[in-house]
Amino acid sequence: MDYYNEIKNELVNNEINRTVKNYSINRNDLNTYYNVGKMLSEAGKHYGENVIGEYADKLRVDLNKKYNERTLRRYRQFYNFVSTLKWSALPTKLSWSHMTVLMTLSDEDEINYYIGVINDRNIGYRTLNELIKKDEYGRIDAKTKNKFKRKEKLEVIDFVKNPIMIKNNNDSEKISEKILQKIILEDIPSFLGELGEGFTFIKNEYPIKLGDRYNYIDLLLFNIEYNCYVVVELKVTKLKKEHIGQIQVYMNYIDENLKKVNHDKTIGIIICKQDNEYIIKYCSDDRIISRKYELI
């Protein structure tokens, strides 16, 4: 097989397709780079590792200097990457830029998780890179990871990260619940993103009247995708059993006074400095979860 000319023709045809069929650029790119990577892998087995450098020199003359040795090695890496994952077809919403980010990962379940994120959230490679840097997959609990793997139905609380990363531009060393709330409100979109998809902010210090006294919910949210209210309580201490009782009262109040017939039941999220697995273990209400927070 004349590997060099086959590779050159693949690259030339892809350049033509990029001009004529702009709507399918990503698909053409990935198919081309996969095929080129496969031929480079086969050529290397026949002619040795140096053949990639030789082909790069020839392509630089025949086509364009962008097809240098580093680029060709990346195409071969891409072919090996996809072959290892045993995909039946390349995911439709992935671009070459997405792939260069995904190729930094080695765990197949993690890779498939981020591919799902790309498809569901329609994110670019820069956002993908940020999610990987923040270890979004690593901050999802094992139970949820198994749900992803088995393609089971997910609940709103499955997407809440642990720990929750909260951007902090505050110089204060001592953090109170009021200060923590203020920090969150300074960048509410980032905080909502840490909780997952579909969260919208309603109000902080949401007042509810219990008997003759007012109480205040730290953050009241609504999840559009899961059609339910979400009560968030902030604690700068270790999770305590009385925190569970408090948030249950608030959730029940919202269900009785705000929740519409078509809404699902209210979810409760306790964000605390330190988790307590035993308290959560013996909590009978599976609508309540606790998550640690870290200031970054």
Q: pLDDT digit string (tens) for 82-137?
A: 988 877 677 777 889 999 999 999 999 999 999 988 988 889 999 999 999 999 99
Return the domain boundaries, the chain. Answer: 3-139, 152-295
Q: Which residue in 46, 28, 24 sits closest to 36, CA to CA?
A: 28
Q: Which residue in 253, 250, 282, 256 sits closest to 268, CA to CA?
A: 250
Measured from the Cβ of residue 29, the count of other Cβ atoms closer than 10 Å reads 18
pLDDT score recorded for residue 22: 56
198 touches 189 (CB < 8 A) = no
Does residue 293 come out as left (phi exceeding 0), alpha (psi in the -120 to 50 range) or beta? Answer: beta
pLDDT score recorded for residue 236: 95
Residue range 283-295: average pLDDT?
91
Checking if the pLDDT of 228 tops 80, the result is: yes
Classify domain 152-295 at the CATH topology level: Trna Endonuclease; Chain: A, domain 1 (3.40.1350)
pLDDT, greater one: 265 or 175: 265
